[in-house]
């Protein structure tokens, strides 16, 4: 089975997206050009930001896709929320859901970014 280890987001302005994700992730990209930016995260996951107008075939508008960041505790989620309030548009305030404590933000292109801590005993 193939390994899922890379997320590629279509973006309007890679430089603007790079500024956003560098601040959000607290790390510099390993590749940064006018059309493409690449981050390699500590867990090995790669996050690419590619200028949408150059992608072939052209991407369609995203549906309900989310890039998800997990934490061990609700307090960690609250701390990330406090930090991200000034960095990203908040789409959902921190709340408890069936799967855990969560909030949702958006990047400059409207990609949904969910942060959560799993529930101790999911329903």
| Tens digit of each residue's pLDDT (9 = 90 or more) over 57-114 | 988 876 678 999 999 999 999 999 999 999 999 999 999 999 999 999 999 999 999 9
The domain limits of the chain are 6-54, 66-118
Please state the φ and ψ torsions of residue 50, each to the nearest 5 degrees. Answer: -115, 135
| The listed CATH number (3.30.720.120, 3.40.1350.10, 2.40.10.480, 3.40.50.300) that belongs to domain 6-54 | 3.30.720.120
User: For 38, which DSSP code?
Assistant: E
Peptide bond into 73 cis (omega under 30): no
Fold exhibited by the domain 66-118: 2,3-Dihydroxybiphenyl 1,2-Dioxygenase; domain 1 (3.10.180)
Region 21-38: mean pLDDT is 97
């Amino acid at each position: 089975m193939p390994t899922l280890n890379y997320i590629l987001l279509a973006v309007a302005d890679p430089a603007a997206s790079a500024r956003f994700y560098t601040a959000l992730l607290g790390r510099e990209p390993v590749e940064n050009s006018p059309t493409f930016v690449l981050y390699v995260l500590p867990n090995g996951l790669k996050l690419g930001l590619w200028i949408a107008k150059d992608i072939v075939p052209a991407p369609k508008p995203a549906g309900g896709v989310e890039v998800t960041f997990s934490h061990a505790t609700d307090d960690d989620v609250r701390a990330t929320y406090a930090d991200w309030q000034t960095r990203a548009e908040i789409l959902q305030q921190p709340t408890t859901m069936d799967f855990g404590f969560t909030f949702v933000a958006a990047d400059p292109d409207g990609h949904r970014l969910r942060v959560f801590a799993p529930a101790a005993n999911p329903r």
